Amino acid sequence: MGGLRTVPARWREVPHLGVPAALGALAVLLLPGYLYVRQYRHVLAEPDGFVYDFSFFYQAGQRFLADPAALYADVQYLYPPPSVVPFLTTVALPQWAAYLAWNAGVVALAVVCFRRVLRLYARPEAEPVARPLTRGLVLIGLGSGPLLQNLKYGQVNVLVLLAGLLFLNGLRRDRPLRAALALCGGFWLKLYPLVLIPLAWGVRRPGRLVFGFALGLVGLPLVLAPVVPLALYAEFAVERTPTWAGLTNQGALNGSLVGVLTRLTLPPEAALHGLEVPMPVWVSAVGTFASALLFGGVALAHAAGRLRREVAGVIALALIPVCSTLGWEHTYLLALPLLFFALLDARGRSRRARMLTAGAALLLMLPRLPIRVLAALVEHAPRPVVDLLNARYLLVTLALAAAVAAWSWQRPEPGDSLSRSDG
């Protein structure tokens, strides 16, 4: 208890972290009640009703058990074939019970992920992060908008985040085989994590890394072939993936670069409706160029020794929802490690840097406004205000990426080159 009593005092010493942490603690206290009113009571009242997005996963598991070839009978299921495996356990329960159990698992894994981020931040030459600050960061993560959206929608992004963090931690601990297998696990759930592969540049034992990727990308489908037919991979690649090429979602929940830019070409009320729409050609071109520039720049900065692998890794994770065509608010869970790095890096910096970092934390803790409130803003507020509000996750993430990169930028030591390993 004595240790807990010191927490508020330590938070007051670093208010740029303490204020968001206090709000995170309040959000955590209010979260169960909010979720009950907003979601759980409806799920319990209609046990077989559709629960976005959890029902996509749950029903995919049901279809797969009935007939594996029917996995992609629902065109809304856009995940690689092995992604269905984790959901086979959920169909043993009624959907309402599986949804509640999944939410409990999301919270537990989120805490695991947040603590791994703090391990990733630690450096031998730096003073350890005080326990009250680590508790504050965990509360900020648990009280964030992205985590709330993952719980509401029953999403899987916490597993993707865990895969990315295990990859970075594995490389840091000189365990490239485990790192590669972890990243492949995330890839087979969603395709995103492979953008981290260039950060393995300079690994000390590249043969083990390559072997791990061979096992994860080729060996796993072969091992699962008796359960997950190989024909599903072709169906996913040839039929499902191209169906969504060139499309984005116009709703305010989509905070990706192409989503935000596409909304600017539509009437302001488009943000109120989560509909898939074609991207204008120029938006698609900007998105492709920005993705190559951002991910390529991060990879080159790491290879040149300017960014430690851990820093480059959390920036790359955060850029995934920015560069995705569907950068949902729940996908911005991948940006929380970058936020943690920024809040910790801001200690001892200028007052302006601390205030801006605190502001970024508060914006990432703000989920999409209720549709009625957003509709009133669309009707009465100037459009630039509404557009900026709906683009807040995108803008904050890009600002945090620039800040953390600038604060972490280092001059290569004599003799460093692109072949150098930073361990």
Taking only the tens place, the pLDDT of each residue in 271-299 is 999 999 999 999 999 999 999 999 999 99
Taking only the tens place, the pLDDT of each residue in 206-251 is 999 999 999 999 999 999 999 999 999 999 999 888 877 889 999 9
pLDDT in the model for residue 2: 44
pLDDT in the model for residue 351: 94
What is d(CA 80, CA 98) in angstroms, rounded to the nearest whole number? 21
pLDDT in the model for residue 245: 83
What is d(CA 112, CA 148) in angstroms, rounded to the nearest whole number? 17
Give the SS3 label for residue 253.
coil
Phi, psi of 276 (to 5 degrees): -80, 130
CA-nearest of 41, 340, 33 to 165 is 340
Domain ranges of the chain: 249-411
Q: What angle do CA 213, 299, 178 make, to 5 degrees?
A: 25
Give the SS3 label for residue 328.
strand
Number of other CB atoms surrounding residue 409 within 10 Å? 11
DSSP 50: -
Q: Measure Cα distances from 73 to 62, 69, 70, 232 in Å.
A: 12, 8, 5, 11
pLDDT in tens, the chain (423 residues): 445 566 777 888 899 999 999 999 999 999 999 999 999 999 999 998 999 899 999 999 999 999 999 999 998 898 999 999 989 989 999 999 999 999 999 999 999 999 999 999 988 777 788 899 999 999 999 999 999 999 999 999 999 999 999 999 999 999 999 999 999 999 999 999 999 999 999 898 899 999 999 999 999 999 999 999 999 999 999 988 887 788 999 999 999 999 999 999 999 999 999 999 999 999 999 999 999 999 999 999 999 999 999 999 999 999 999 999 999 999 999 999 999 999 999 998 999 999 999 999 999 999 999 999 999 999 999 999 999 999 999 999 999 999 999 999 987 655 554 444 444
Q: Measure Cα distances from 302 to 123, 130, 208, 274 in Å.
A: 17, 28, 20, 37
What is d(CA 354, CA 370) in angstroms, rounded to the nearest whole number? 30
* Structural contact between residues 290 and 269, judged by C-beta atoms closer than 8 angstroms: no
What is d(CA 204, CA 44) in angstroms, rounded to the nearest whole number? 52
Element spanning 399, H or E = helix 392-408
pLDDT in the model for residue 421: 42
- How many helices, marked H, and strands, marked E, lie in the chain? 21, 2
Residues in contact with 115: Cβ distance below 8 Å, sequence separation at least 6, in sequence order: 134, 138
Give the DSSP letter string of 230-243. THHHHHIIIIIHHH
CA-nearest of 395, 355, 189 to 387 is 395
